[in-house]
Amino acid sequence: MTSIFDQIWFPLYLSLWIAFISSILVLCSGVFIAYIFARFNFRGKKLAELLVTLPLVLPPTVIGYLLVILVGKKGFLGHLIFSFLGTGIMFTWQAAVIAAYAVSLP
């Protein structure tokens, strides 16, 4: 039997953990991507900028659907993860970190 303490604090702890990990990832990759975009001109730069800022203009349901397709067992990332780890990550805290990262990066 779980106590009321576990029922309240575990979801709060999990949410804060996901926010912390995704914030660290966004900080590191965001600074790197901004540096690349600011300093270098390369072929396909406009397309790369479009892909980075795309989650800003798409509705959250579309982003979620795209992530389900991408991270699901038959998706590109999901198949790769399943072949390496032997298990999927759908509906885990790792998938929540990926979703938070995808929405927060722009």
Q: What is the pTM of this model?
A: 0.85
User: For residue 76, what are the CA distances in angstroms to 12, 20, 88, 98, 103?
Assistant: 31, 26, 12, 14, 19
Which residue's structure tokens are 């780890």? 85
Domains of the chain by start residue, with CATH: 4-104 (1.10.3720.10)
- Segment 26-37, tens digit of pLDDT: 999 999 999 999
For 53, phi and psi rounded to 5 degrees? -90, 0
Alpha carbon distance 102, 80 (integer Å): 18
- Segment 85-101, tens digit of pLDDT: 888 888 899 999 999 99
